[in-house]
Amino acid sequence: MRNDWSGQTFPHPAGRRPVVGDVLGMSADTPLQSAMEHAKGLGPIFELKIFDQKFVFITGAALAAELADESRFAKSLSPALVALREFAGEGLFTAYNDDTNWALAHDLLRPAFTKAAMQRYHPVMLATVQELFDAWDAGAEAVDVSADMTKLTMETISRTAFSTDFGSFSRSEPHPFIPAMIAALKAGQRKGSLNSMPGAALMAKRIDKRNAHHQAYVDSLLDGIIAERRAGEVDESDLLGIMLHTPHPETGERLDDLNIRHQILTFLVAGHETTSGALSFALHYLSRDPVVLAKAQAEVDEILGPDRDIEPTFEQVPKFRYLRRVLDEGLRLWPTAPAFTRSPREETVIGGTYRMRPEDWAIVMLPLMHRDTEVWGDDADQFDPDRFEPENARGRQPHSYKPFGTGERSCIGRQFALHEAILVLARVLHRYDIAGDPDYELTISERLTLMPEGFELMITPRVPAQAGASDTRPAPSIDQPGFQATSQG
Protein backbone atom coordinates (compact mmCIF):
# COMPACT_ATOMS: atom_id res chain seq x y z
CA MET A 1 0.00 0.00 0.00
CA ARG A 2 1.71 3.15 -1.18
CA ASN A 3 2.06 5.88 1.39
CA ASP A 4 4.84 8.12 0.17
CA TRP A 5 3.72 11.45 1.63
CA SER A 6 5.06 13.27 -1.44
CA GLY A 7 8.57 12.13 -0.54
CA GLN A 8 8.63 13.74 2.92
CA THR A 9 10.53 11.88 5.63
CA PHE A 10 9.79 11.98 9.32
CA PRO A 11 11.98 11.23 12.32
CA HIS A 12 12.77 7.53 12.46
CA PRO A 13 14.79 5.23 14.72
CA ALA A 14 18.56 5.24 14.36
CA GLY A 15 20.15 2.37 12.47
CA ARG A 16 17.94 2.33 9.36
CA ARG A 17 19.39 -0.15 6.84
CA PRO A 18 19.17 -0.25 3.05
CA VAL A 19 16.47 -2.62 1.74
CA VAL A 20 15.11 -3.74 5.14
CA GLY A 21 14.63 -0.22 6.53
CA ASP A 22 13.76 -0.19 10.25
CA VAL A 23 12.82 -3.84 10.50
CA LEU A 24 15.72 -4.81 12.81
CA GLY A 25 14.54 -4.79 16.40
CA MET A 26 10.86 -4.96 15.39
CA SER A 27 9.07 -7.96 16.83
CA ALA A 28 6.60 -9.73 14.55
CA ASP A 29 4.68 -10.90 17.64
CA THR A 30 4.49 -7.57 19.43
CA PRO A 31 4.73 -4.93 16.66
CA LEU A 32 2.89 -2.26 18.65
CA GLN A 33 5.13 -2.53 21.69
CA SER A 34 8.29 -2.55 19.60
CA ALA A 35 7.05 0.48 17.64
CA MET A 36 6.39 2.18 21.02
CA GLU A 37 10.00 1.48 21.99
CA HIS A 38 11.26 2.81 18.67
CA ALA A 39 9.16 5.96 19.05
CA LYS A 40 11.05 7.18 22.10
CA GLY A 41 12.42 10.67 21.56
CA LEU A 42 11.09 10.93 17.98
CA GLY A 43 8.39 13.53 18.70
CA PRO A 44 4.69 13.69 17.81
CA ILE A 45 5.04 12.18 14.33
CA PHE A 46 7.50 9.52 13.24
CA GLU A 47 7.90 6.89 10.58
CA LEU A 48 9.01 3.31 10.28
CA LYS A 49 10.06 1.79 7.00
CA ILE A 50 9.50 -1.95 6.83
CA PHE A 51 11.15 -2.93 3.56
CA ASP A 52 9.34 -0.76 0.99
CA GLN A 53 6.37 0.11 3.14
CA LYS A 54 6.33 3.42 4.95
CA PHE A 55 4.24 3.63 8.14
CA VAL A 56 3.63 7.12 9.57
CA PHE A 57 2.59 7.23 13.23
CA ILE A 58 0.95 10.06 15.15
CA THR A 59 1.73 10.08 18.87
CA GLY A 60 1.07 13.74 19.75
CA ALA A 61 -2.39 14.75 20.97
CA ALA A 62 -2.45 18.03 19.01
CA LEU A 63 -1.81 16.31 15.66
CA ALA A 64 -4.27 13.54 16.56
CA ALA A 65 -6.91 16.20 17.29
CA GLU A 66 -6.36 17.63 13.82
CA LEU A 67 -6.86 14.17 12.29
CA ALA A 68 -10.10 13.79 14.29
CA ASP A 69 -11.68 16.61 12.27
CA GLU A 70 -14.26 14.69 10.25
CA SER A 71 -14.69 17.50 7.75
CA ARG A 72 -11.04 17.04 6.67
CA PHE A 73 -10.22 13.39 7.47
CA ALA A 74 -11.81 9.93 7.40
CA LYS A 75 -10.98 6.38 8.42
CA SER A 76 -8.56 4.56 6.22
CA LEU A 77 -7.56 0.88 6.38
CA SER A 78 -4.06 0.02 7.61
CA PRO A 79 -2.32 -2.92 5.88
CA ALA A 80 -3.37 -5.14 8.82
CA LEU A 81 -7.06 -4.26 8.33
CA VAL A 82 -6.74 -4.75 4.57
CA ALA A 83 -5.32 -8.23 5.30
CA LEU A 84 -8.20 -8.88 7.68
CA ARG A 85 -10.73 -8.19 4.91
CA GLU A 86 -9.97 -11.67 3.60
CA PHE A 87 -11.51 -12.93 6.81
CA ALA A 88 -14.13 -10.29 7.68
CA GLY A 89 -14.84 -8.86 4.20
CA GLU A 90 -17.12 -5.82 4.21
CA GLY A 91 -18.05 -6.30 7.86
CA LEU A 92 -18.47 -2.93 9.61
CA PHE A 93 -14.93 -2.83 11.00
CA THR A 94 -13.05 -3.68 7.82
CA ALA A 95 -15.36 -1.99 5.28
CA TYR A 96 -14.06 0.90 3.20
CA ASN A 97 -15.98 4.12 3.80
CA ASP A 98 -17.59 3.91 0.37
CA ASP A 99 -18.54 0.20 0.49
CA THR A 100 -22.33 0.30 0.15
CA ASN A 101 -22.57 -2.47 2.77
CA TRP A 102 -21.06 -0.16 5.38
CA ALA A 103 -23.86 2.43 5.25
CA LEU A 104 -26.53 -0.26 4.94
CA ALA A 105 -25.28 -2.32 7.91
CA HIS A 106 -24.60 0.79 9.99
CA ASP A 107 -28.17 2.06 9.49
CA LEU A 108 -29.73 -1.36 10.07
CA LEU A 109 -27.72 -2.20 13.19
CA ARG A 110 -27.79 1.12 15.03
CA PRO A 111 -31.17 0.27 16.66
CA ALA A 112 -29.47 -2.76 18.24
CA PHE A 113 -27.45 -0.35 20.43
CA THR A 114 -30.16 1.97 21.73
CA LYS A 115 -31.01 2.25 25.43
CA ALA A 116 -34.07 0.03 24.89
CA ALA A 117 -31.87 -2.65 23.33
CA MET A 118 -29.36 -2.36 26.17
CA GLN A 119 -32.19 -2.91 28.64
CA ARG A 120 -32.94 -6.21 26.89
CA TYR A 121 -29.28 -7.28 27.05
CA HIS A 122 -28.88 -6.42 30.75
CA PRO A 123 -30.42 -9.65 32.18
CA VAL A 124 -28.45 -11.74 29.67
CA MET A 125 -25.24 -10.04 30.79
CA LEU A 126 -26.11 -10.73 34.44
CA ALA A 127 -26.92 -14.40 33.80
CA THR A 128 -23.62 -14.85 31.96
CA VAL A 129 -21.57 -13.34 34.81
CA GLN A 130 -23.38 -15.65 37.22
CA GLU A 131 -22.19 -18.63 35.17
CA LEU A 132 -18.63 -17.40 35.49
CA PHE A 133 -19.08 -17.12 39.26
CA ASP A 134 -20.52 -20.64 39.44
CA ALA A 135 -17.41 -21.89 37.64
CA TRP A 136 -15.14 -19.84 39.95
CA ASP A 137 -16.94 -21.06 43.08
CA ALA A 138 -16.57 -24.67 41.99
CA GLY A 139 -12.93 -24.38 40.98
CA ALA A 140 -9.50 -23.37 42.17
CA GLU A 141 -8.75 -20.07 43.85
CA ALA A 142 -6.34 -18.81 41.19
CA VAL A 143 -8.00 -17.71 37.97
CA ASP A 144 -6.48 -16.90 34.60
CA VAL A 145 -8.05 -13.47 34.20
CA SER A 146 -7.68 -12.85 30.45
CA ALA A 147 -8.92 -16.37 29.60
CA ASP A 148 -11.94 -16.07 31.88
CA MET A 149 -12.82 -12.54 30.76
CA THR A 150 -12.57 -13.78 27.16
CA LYS A 151 -15.00 -16.61 27.86
CA LEU A 152 -17.35 -14.19 29.59
CA THR A 153 -17.41 -11.47 26.94
CA MET A 154 -17.57 -14.03 24.13
CA GLU A 155 -20.65 -15.66 25.68
CA THR A 156 -22.23 -12.28 26.32
CA ILE A 157 -21.92 -11.08 22.73
CA SER A 158 -22.95 -14.41 21.21
CA ARG A 159 -26.01 -14.67 23.45
CA THR A 160 -27.12 -11.04 23.17
CA ALA A 161 -26.39 -10.50 19.48
CA PHE A 162 -27.03 -13.93 17.98
CA SER A 163 -29.02 -15.78 20.68
CA THR A 164 -26.32 -18.46 20.48
CA ASP A 165 -24.87 -20.19 23.52
CA PHE A 166 -21.24 -21.26 22.98
CA GLY A 167 -21.24 -23.23 26.24
CA SER A 168 -17.94 -21.62 27.30
CA PHE A 169 -18.42 -22.33 30.99
CA SER A 170 -19.21 -26.01 30.63
CA ARG A 171 -16.09 -26.73 28.54
CA SER A 172 -12.65 -27.38 29.94
CA GLU A 173 -11.08 -25.89 26.78
CA PRO A 174 -12.17 -22.61 25.15
CA HIS A 175 -14.74 -22.90 22.36
CA PRO A 176 -12.84 -23.74 19.12
CA PHE A 177 -13.97 -20.39 17.70
CA ILE A 178 -11.52 -18.65 20.08
CA PRO A 179 -8.27 -20.28 18.85
CA ALA A 180 -9.52 -20.01 15.26
CA MET A 181 -10.20 -16.30 15.73
CA ILE A 182 -6.84 -15.66 17.42
CA ALA A 183 -5.06 -17.47 14.57
CA ALA A 184 -6.90 -15.33 12.01
CA LEU A 185 -6.14 -12.07 13.83
CA LYS A 186 -2.48 -12.98 14.18
CA ALA A 187 -2.34 -13.97 10.52
CA GLY A 188 -3.80 -10.55 9.61
CA GLN A 189 -1.26 -8.82 11.83
CA ARG A 190 1.65 -10.73 10.28
CA LYS A 191 0.49 -10.33 6.70
CA GLY A 192 -0.10 -6.63 7.32
CA SER A 193 3.36 -5.96 8.70
CA LEU A 194 5.22 -8.11 6.17
CA ASN A 195 3.32 -7.17 3.03
CA SER A 196 6.23 -5.27 1.54
CA MET A 197 8.90 -7.91 2.16
CA PRO A 198 10.52 -9.59 -0.81
CA GLY A 199 8.63 -12.89 -1.11
CA ALA A 200 5.61 -11.46 0.76
CA ALA A 201 3.15 -13.10 -1.63
CA LEU A 202 4.69 -16.50 -0.97
CA MET A 203 4.68 -15.93 2.77
CA ALA A 204 1.07 -14.77 2.66
CA LYS A 205 0.19 -17.96 0.80
CA ARG A 206 1.91 -20.02 3.50
CA ILE A 207 0.12 -18.13 6.25
CA ASP A 208 -3.20 -18.64 4.42
CA LYS A 209 -2.50 -22.34 4.04
CA ARG A 210 -1.76 -22.71 7.74
CA ASN A 211 -4.92 -20.78 8.48
CA ALA A 212 -7.22 -22.50 5.98
CA HIS A 213 -8.70 -25.04 8.39
CA HIS A 214 -9.48 -22.27 10.89
CA GLN A 215 -11.20 -20.27 8.18
CA ALA A 216 -13.20 -23.30 7.02
CA TYR A 217 -14.23 -24.04 10.61
CA VAL A 218 -15.37 -20.46 11.24
CA ASP A 219 -17.30 -20.30 7.93
CA SER A 220 -19.18 -23.50 8.71
CA LEU A 221 -19.89 -22.39 12.29
CA LEU A 222 -21.35 -19.08 11.12
CA ASP A 223 -23.32 -20.62 8.26
CA GLY A 224 -24.73 -23.06 10.83
CA ILE A 225 -25.87 -20.18 13.05
CA ILE A 226 -27.57 -18.52 10.05
CA ALA A 227 -29.23 -21.76 8.87
CA GLU A 228 -30.52 -22.59 12.34
CA ARG A 229 -32.10 -19.17 12.70
CA ARG A 230 -33.67 -19.25 9.24
CA ALA A 231 -35.25 -22.59 10.11
CA GLY A 232 -36.83 -21.14 13.30
CA GLU A 233 -39.43 -18.46 14.05
CA VAL A 234 -38.90 -14.93 12.75
CA ASP A 235 -37.40 -12.97 15.64
CA GLU A 236 -36.07 -9.45 15.04
CA SER A 237 -34.98 -8.75 18.60
CA ASP A 238 -31.22 -9.33 18.16
CA LEU A 239 -28.58 -8.37 15.60
CA LEU A 240 -28.95 -11.56 13.63
CA GLY A 241 -32.74 -11.18 13.47
CA ILE A 242 -32.38 -7.62 12.22
CA MET A 243 -29.86 -8.65 9.55
CA LEU A 244 -32.00 -11.56 8.33
CA HIS A 245 -35.43 -9.98 8.39
CA THR A 246 -35.30 -6.17 8.48
CA PRO A 247 -35.12 -4.18 5.25
CA HIS A 248 -33.61 -0.70 5.25
CA PRO A 249 -36.42 1.67 6.31
CA GLU A 250 -35.90 4.01 3.35
CA THR A 251 -34.40 1.96 0.53
CA GLY A 252 -35.82 -1.48 1.38
CA GLU A 253 -32.36 -3.02 0.81
CA ARG A 254 -31.18 -6.04 2.80
CA LEU A 255 -27.76 -7.47 3.57
CA ASP A 256 -26.83 -10.51 1.48
CA ASP A 257 -25.87 -13.83 3.10
CA LEU A 258 -22.12 -13.38 2.61
CA ASN A 259 -22.22 -9.98 4.24
CA ILE A 260 -24.32 -11.35 7.12
CA ARG A 261 -21.62 -13.96 7.70
CA HIS A 262 -18.99 -11.21 7.71
CA GLN A 263 -21.02 -9.08 10.12
CA ILE A 264 -21.54 -11.97 12.55
CA LEU A 265 -17.82 -12.62 12.53
CA THR A 266 -17.06 -8.92 12.97
CA PHE A 267 -19.38 -8.61 15.96
CA LEU A 268 -18.20 -11.85 17.54
CA VAL A 269 -14.61 -10.61 17.36
CA ALA A 270 -15.00 -6.84 17.89
CA GLY A 271 -17.72 -7.46 20.46
CA HIS A 272 -15.61 -9.42 22.91
CA GLU A 273 -11.82 -9.18 22.37
CA THR A 274 -11.50 -5.53 23.31
CA THR A 275 -13.90 -5.69 26.26
CA SER A 276 -12.17 -8.71 27.78
CA GLY A 277 -8.83 -6.91 27.48
CA ALA A 278 -10.29 -3.75 29.06
CA LEU A 279 -11.65 -5.78 31.99
CA SER A 280 -8.36 -7.63 32.42
CA PHE A 281 -6.29 -4.43 32.46
CA ALA A 282 -8.71 -2.83 34.94
CA LEU A 283 -8.48 -5.87 37.24
CA HIS A 284 -4.70 -5.84 36.93
CA TYR A 285 -4.43 -2.22 38.04
CA LEU A 286 -7.02 -2.73 40.80
CA SER A 287 -5.00 -5.65 42.16
CA ARG A 288 -1.87 -3.46 42.16
CA ASP A 289 -3.22 -0.49 44.07
CA PRO A 290 -4.83 -1.08 47.50
CA VAL A 291 -6.14 2.49 47.71
CA VAL A 292 -7.86 2.32 44.32
CA LEU A 293 -9.22 -1.14 45.16
CA ALA A 294 -10.61 0.04 48.50
CA LYS A 295 -12.31 3.02 46.86
CA ALA A 296 -13.82 0.77 44.20
CA GLN A 297 -15.05 -1.73 46.80
CA ALA A 298 -16.51 1.04 48.94
CA GLU A 299 -18.45 2.27 45.93
CA VAL A 300 -19.89 -1.15 45.09
CA ASP A 301 -20.84 -1.74 48.74
CA GLU A 302 -22.54 1.62 48.94
CA ILE A 303 -24.59 1.00 45.81
CA LEU A 304 -25.25 -2.73 46.14
CA GLY A 305 -25.38 -3.18 49.93
CA PRO A 306 -24.31 -6.10 52.09
CA ASP A 307 -25.65 -9.08 50.09
CA ARG A 308 -22.84 -10.42 47.86
CA ASP A 309 -25.37 -12.21 45.64
CA ILE A 310 -27.32 -9.10 44.73
CA GLU A 311 -27.27 -8.06 41.06
CA PRO A 312 -27.15 -4.44 39.88
CA THR A 313 -30.26 -3.12 38.16
CA PHE A 314 -29.97 -1.52 34.72
CA GLU A 315 -30.36 1.92 36.30
CA GLN A 316 -27.62 1.28 38.86
CA VAL A 317 -24.89 0.54 36.32
CA PRO A 318 -24.15 4.19 35.40
CA LYS A 319 -23.90 5.00 39.11
CA PHE A 320 -20.59 3.15 39.51
CA ARG A 321 -18.69 6.30 38.65
CA TYR A 322 -15.43 5.36 40.29
CA LEU A 323 -15.41 2.00 38.49
CA ARG A 324 -15.95 3.91 35.27
CA ARG A 325 -12.88 6.00 35.99
CA VAL A 326 -10.84 2.86 36.68
CA LEU A 327 -11.96 1.46 33.35
CA ASP A 328 -11.30 4.74 31.52
CA GLU A 329 -7.81 4.98 33.02
CA GLY A 330 -6.99 1.37 32.09
CA LEU A 331 -8.10 2.14 28.52
CA ARG A 332 -5.97 5.28 28.53
CA LEU A 333 -2.77 3.37 29.28
CA TRP A 334 -3.68 0.27 27.28
CA PRO A 335 -6.43 1.05 24.77
CA THR A 336 -7.25 -2.49 23.73
CA ALA A 337 -7.90 -1.51 20.10
CA PRO A 338 -4.64 0.44 20.11
CA ALA A 339 -4.65 2.30 16.79
CA PHE A 340 -6.77 3.67 14.00
CA THR A 341 -5.80 5.05 10.64
CA ARG A 342 -6.79 8.36 9.00
CA SER A 343 -6.48 9.88 5.55
CA PRO A 344 -7.45 13.36 4.37
CA ARG A 345 -10.55 13.77 2.23
CA GLU A 346 -8.62 16.28 0.09
CA GLU A 347 -5.01 17.34 -0.08
CA THR A 348 -4.13 19.29 3.06
CA VAL A 349 -1.34 20.30 5.43
CA ILE A 350 -1.11 18.96 8.99
CA GLY A 351 0.79 20.43 11.91
CA GLY A 352 1.18 23.55 9.75
CA THR A 353 4.00 21.76 7.91
CA TYR A 354 3.34 18.32 6.46
CA ARG A 355 1.61 17.93 3.12
CA MET A 356 -0.88 15.05 3.16
CA ARG A 357 -2.81 13.74 0.16
CA PRO A 358 -5.86 11.42 0.14
CA GLU A 359 -3.67 8.43 -0.78
CA ASP A 360 -1.47 9.05 2.31
CA TRP A 361 -2.42 7.56 5.65
CA ALA A 362 -1.28 7.98 9.24
CA ILE A 363 -1.76 5.62 12.16
CA VAL A 364 -2.86 7.26 15.42
CA MET A 365 -0.98 5.26 18.03
CA LEU A 366 -3.30 5.48 21.02
CA PRO A 367 -1.11 4.20 23.88
CA LEU A 368 1.40 6.97 23.10
CA MET A 369 -1.14 9.66 22.22
CA HIS A 370 -2.83 8.87 25.57
CA ARG A 371 0.50 9.47 27.31
CA ASP A 372 1.31 12.81 25.69
CA THR A 373 2.79 14.69 28.65
CA GLU A 374 1.49 18.02 27.30
CA VAL A 375 -2.02 16.75 28.05
CA TRP A 376 -1.56 14.15 30.77
CA GLY A 377 1.40 15.59 32.68
CA ASP A 378 4.80 14.19 33.58
CA ASP A 379 3.26 11.23 35.39
CA ALA A 380 1.39 10.16 32.23
CA ASP A 381 2.70 6.60 32.59
CA GLN A 382 1.14 6.21 36.04
CA PHE A 383 -2.27 4.66 36.62
CA ASP A 384 -4.49 7.26 38.30
CA PRO A 385 -8.28 7.05 37.86
CA ASP A 386 -8.66 10.53 39.43
CA ARG A 387 -7.54 12.00 36.10
CA PHE A 388 -11.12 11.39 35.04
CA GLU A 389 -12.65 13.24 38.00
CA PRO A 390 -14.74 15.98 36.37
CA GLU A 391 -12.67 18.80 37.84
CA ASN A 392 -9.47 17.20 36.54
CA ALA A 393 -10.93 16.40 33.13
CA ARG A 394 -12.44 19.86 32.66
CA GLY A 395 -10.58 21.91 30.08
CA ARG A 396 -8.52 18.97 28.84
CA GLN A 397 -7.67 19.27 25.17
CA PRO A 398 -10.53 17.85 23.06
CA HIS A 399 -9.86 14.57 21.22
CA SER A 400 -6.99 13.61 23.53
CA TYR A 401 -8.74 10.43 24.69
CA LYS A 402 -9.94 8.11 21.93
CA PRO A 403 -10.11 4.45 23.03
CA PHE A 404 -13.30 3.99 21.01
CA GLY A 405 -11.97 5.62 17.85
CA THR A 406 -13.29 8.78 16.27
CA GLY A 407 -16.05 10.15 14.07
CA GLU A 408 -18.51 8.25 11.94
CA ARG A 409 -16.40 5.05 12.05
CA SER A 410 -15.98 5.06 15.82
CA CYS A 411 -17.16 2.13 17.89
CA ILE A 412 -20.83 1.23 17.45
CA GLY A 413 -20.61 -1.03 20.53
CA ARG A 414 -19.23 1.53 22.96
CA GLN A 415 -22.27 1.70 25.26
CA PHE A 416 -22.57 -2.08 25.14
CA ALA A 417 -18.92 -2.46 26.17
CA LEU A 418 -19.13 0.11 28.96
CA HIS A 419 -22.35 -1.32 30.37
CA GLU A 420 -21.00 -4.84 30.31
CA ALA A 421 -17.57 -3.99 31.71
CA ILE A 422 -18.90 -1.89 34.59
CA LEU A 423 -21.53 -4.46 35.47
CA VAL A 424 -18.88 -7.20 35.54
CA LEU A 425 -16.38 -5.17 37.58
CA ALA A 426 -19.10 -4.23 40.08
CA ARG A 427 -20.16 -7.81 40.59
CA VAL A 428 -16.60 -9.19 40.81
CA LEU A 429 -15.43 -6.59 43.34
CA HIS A 430 -18.60 -6.91 45.42
CA ARG A 431 -18.42 -10.66 45.58
CA TYR A 432 -14.70 -11.46 45.81
CA ASP A 433 -11.53 -10.23 47.37
CA ILE A 434 -8.87 -10.19 44.68
CA ALA A 435 -5.11 -10.48 45.04
CA GLY A 436 -2.51 -10.58 42.28
CA ASP A 437 0.91 -12.22 42.43
CA PRO A 438 3.20 -9.36 43.59
CA ASP A 439 5.98 -10.77 41.37
CA TYR A 440 3.83 -10.63 38.22
CA GLU A 441 5.11 -8.11 35.67
CA LEU A 442 2.52 -6.91 33.19
CA THR A 443 3.14 -8.74 29.91
CA ILE A 444 0.95 -7.88 26.95
CA SER A 445 0.14 -10.13 24.06
CA GLU A 446 -0.86 -8.62 20.73
CA ARG A 447 -3.25 -9.98 18.13
CA LEU A 448 -4.24 -6.60 16.71
CA THR A 449 -5.88 -6.10 20.12
CA LEU A 450 -4.00 -5.99 23.44
CA MET A 451 -4.41 -8.45 26.30
CA PRO A 452 -2.53 -9.07 29.56
CA GLU A 453 -0.80 -12.42 29.40
CA GLY A 454 -0.17 -14.86 32.24
CA PHE A 455 -2.07 -12.63 34.66
CA GLU A 456 -3.66 -14.59 37.51
CA LEU A 457 -5.74 -13.45 40.44
CA MET A 458 -6.42 -15.23 43.70
CA ILE A 459 -10.10 -14.83 44.43
CA THR A 460 -11.72 -15.45 47.79
CA PRO A 461 -15.33 -14.94 48.87
CA ARG A 462 -15.87 -11.46 50.22
CA VAL A 463 -18.21 -10.08 52.85
CA PRO A 464 -19.36 -6.66 51.62
CA ALA A 465 -19.31 -3.86 54.18
CA GLN A 466 -22.54 -3.25 56.12
CA ALA A 467 -24.25 0.09 55.61
CA GLY A 468 -22.35 2.67 57.66
CA ALA A 469 -19.30 0.42 58.07
CA SER A 470 -17.88 1.80 54.86
CA ASP A 471 -17.06 4.97 56.86
CA THR A 472 -13.81 3.27 57.82
CA ARG A 473 -12.76 2.98 54.18
CA PRO A 474 -11.64 5.77 51.89
CA ALA A 475 -14.80 7.46 50.66
CA PRO A 476 -15.67 6.88 47.02
CA SER A 477 -15.92 9.96 44.96
CA ILE A 478 -19.23 9.67 43.20
CA ASP A 479 -19.65 13.27 42.29
CA GLN A 480 -19.25 12.72 38.60
CA PRO A 481 -21.99 13.78 36.21
CA GLY A 482 -23.60 11.40 33.70
CA PHE A 483 -22.49 8.04 32.43
CA GLN A 484 -20.73 9.28 29.32
CA ALA A 485 -19.11 12.29 30.87
CA THR A 486 -15.56 11.02 31.20
CA SER A 487 -14.75 9.92 27.67
CA GLN A 488 -14.81 11.95 24.55
CA GLY A 489 -16.06 9.94 21.58
165 φ, ψ (degrees, to nearest 5): -100, 120
For ligand HEM, the closer CB: 350 or 364: 364
Does position 367 interact with ligand HEM (CB under 6 A)? The reply is no
* Site size with ligand HEM, rule: CB under 6 A: 26
Least distance CB 166 / ligand HEM (angstroms): 15
User: Which 3 state secondary structure label does DSSP give 458?
Assistant: strand
For ligand HEM, the closer CB: 38 or 342: 342
482 φ, ψ (degrees, to nearest 5): -35, 170
Nearest partner of 9 among 62, 47, 66, judged by Cα? 47
Report the alpha-carbon distance of residue 210 to residue 199 in Å, rounded: 17
Report the alpha-carbon distance of residue 376 to residue 395 in Å, rounded: 12
Range 142-201, binding ligand HEM (CB under 6 A): 157
* Cβ-based neighbour number of residue 477 at 10 Å: 16
Among 88, 117, 132, 270, binds ligand HEM (CB under 6 A): 270
* Burial tier of 139 (Cβ tally within 10 Å: 0-12, 13-18, 19+): exposed
Region of 11-19, 176-184, 216-224, 405-413 interacting with ligand HEM (CB under 6 A): 405-413
Report the alpha-carbon distance of residue 343 to residue 73 in Å, rounded: 5
Among 150, 275, 470, 487, binds ligand HEM (CB under 6 A): 275
Among 168, 189, 266, 400, binds ligand HEM (CB under 6 A): 266
Range 113-142, binding ligand HEM (CB under 6 A): none
Does position 93 interact with ligand HEM (CB under 6 A)? The reply is yes
* Cβ-based neighbour number of residue 353 at 10 Å: 8
Does position 50 interact with ligand HEM (CB under 6 A)? The reply is no
Among 274, 343, 400, 486, binds ligand HEM (CB under 6 A): 274
Region of 139-147, 177-185, 401-409, 433-441 interacting with ligand HEM (CB under 6 A): 401-409
Region of 51-59, 249-257, 309-317, 410-418 interacting with ligand HEM (CB under 6 A): 410-418
* Burial tier of 40 (Cβ tally within 10 Å: 0-12, 13-18, 19+): exposed
For ligand HEM, the closer CB: 53 or 275: 275
Does position 269 interact with ligand HEM (CB under 6 A)? The reply is no
User: Which 3 state secondary structure label does DSSP give 397?
Assistant: coil
Among 21, 31, 79, 413, binds ligand HEM (CB under 6 A): 413
Among 403, 436, 464, 476, binds ligand HEM (CB under 6 A): 403
For ligand HEM, the closer CB: 55 or 404: 404
Does position 405 interact with ligand HEM (CB under 6 A)? The reply is yes
For ligand HEM, the closer CB: 410 or 477: 410
User: In sequence order, which residues have a C-beta less than 8 Å from that of residue 195 and are 6 or more positions away?
Assistant: 1, 53, 79, 83, 204
Q: Which residues of 11-35 are buried (b: 16+ CB within 10 A; e: fewer)?
A: ebbeeeeeeebbbeebeeebbbbbb
How far CA 271 is from CA of 180, 277, 337, 405, 413, in Å, comes to 16, 11, 11, 15, 7
Region of 32-40, 203-211, 245-253, 407-415 interacting with ligand HEM (CB under 6 A): 407-415
Does position 340 interact with ligand HEM (CB under 6 A)? The reply is yes
Report the alpha-carbon distance of residue 412 to residue 271 in Å, rounded: 10
The residue type of 145 is: V
Least distance CB 11 / ligand HEM (angstroms): 25
Does position 75 interact with ligand HEM (CB under 6 A)? The reply is yes
Does position 83 interact with ligand HEM (CB under 6 A)? The reply is no
Least distance CB 185 / ligand HEM (angstroms): 14
- Contact between 388 and 325 (Cβ < 8 Å): yes
Least distance CB 408 / ligand HEM (angstroms): 7
Give the footprint of ligand HEM on this chain (CB under 6 A).
75, 92-93, 106, 157, 266-267, 270-271, 274-275, 278, 335-337, 340, 403-405, 409-413, 416-417
